[in-house]
Structure formats: C-alpha cells, structure tokens
Structure 1
C-alpha cells in the first residue's frame, strides 16, 4: 500500500514532464482516475448543458463509480507510464 501511494505520488510528478499534448480523452482519463483515487465516487449533480468541460469531467469520473482507490491509483500510474512512452 505504501509503495502504491509512493508510485502514485511519483506519477503525479512525472505527468508534468510530458512535453507533447495528450488527447482530450487522455486528459479526462487522468482527471477521473485522480479524482476517483483521492475522493471516491463522484458527488453532486451533473453540470448543465452549457458547461461542456464540467460535464465531460463529471461523466468521465462517473464512469469509474465503484472503482476502489487502489485500483484507480494503479490505473493512473499505468496511464502516466503509457503517456510518458508516447508523448516525450
């Protein structure tokens, strides 16, 4: 568990070193996995139709409902590793 948290913290640092812009889907995946790992299932109501960015973020996070924090952390770590290989 401590190793996973350390790797998760390192992935948060490593993601900032990506030089090529990831796709919007990659950004949403990183956002939703990070939120799921730190806060659990999405809370609150879905943003309105005019808030397209907020709505996309909410929807991406809502798809992870029921995913445990450890699993979300590992998926975040894996996603960052994948992006580092293709976006440096």
Structure 2
C-alpha cells in the first residue's frame, strides 16, 4: 500500500468516527490535513477580527 492510498483511507476513516472529537482535536486534524495537502500556509491572516473560526483555523 502506498502512502497516498493510506492517507486517503485515513481521511475517509476520520469521517466515520463514532463520536465527534473536541474542538482542539478537530483543529489539530484540520491543521495536519491542510499541511499534508497544501503545505505551508502562504495566505494572509483573516482580516475580520470577529471571524473566530477562520482565525482558529489559520492559527492551527
């Protein structure tokens, strides 16, 4: 099994968890997924100070 196939199976498995992880775990999973699929973040930080979700994702 190659690494890409293993990654794809793991991503699919993460959507079938029996219970929803806490927010800290979700942000960690999000950050690892984005790092693996897109690499380092080259975008500017969100400009809207009230967009808490976008800011948390950016910081993750």
TM norm structure 2: 0.88
Gaps of 5+ in 2: none
Alignment partner, residue 21 of structure 2: 22
Kindly indicate which of the two structures has a greater share of residues assigned to helix: 1
1:1-88 pair list within 5 angstroms? 3-47=2-46, 48-60=48-60
Gaps of 5+ in 1: 61-88
Distance 1:36 1:23 in 2: 20
TM norm structure 1: 0.62
Instruction: Report runs of 4+ in structure 1 exceeding 2 Å deviation.
Output: none
How far apart are residue 17 of structure 1 and its match? 1.1
Root mean square deviation of aligned Cα: 1.2
Say how many residue pairs are matched: 59
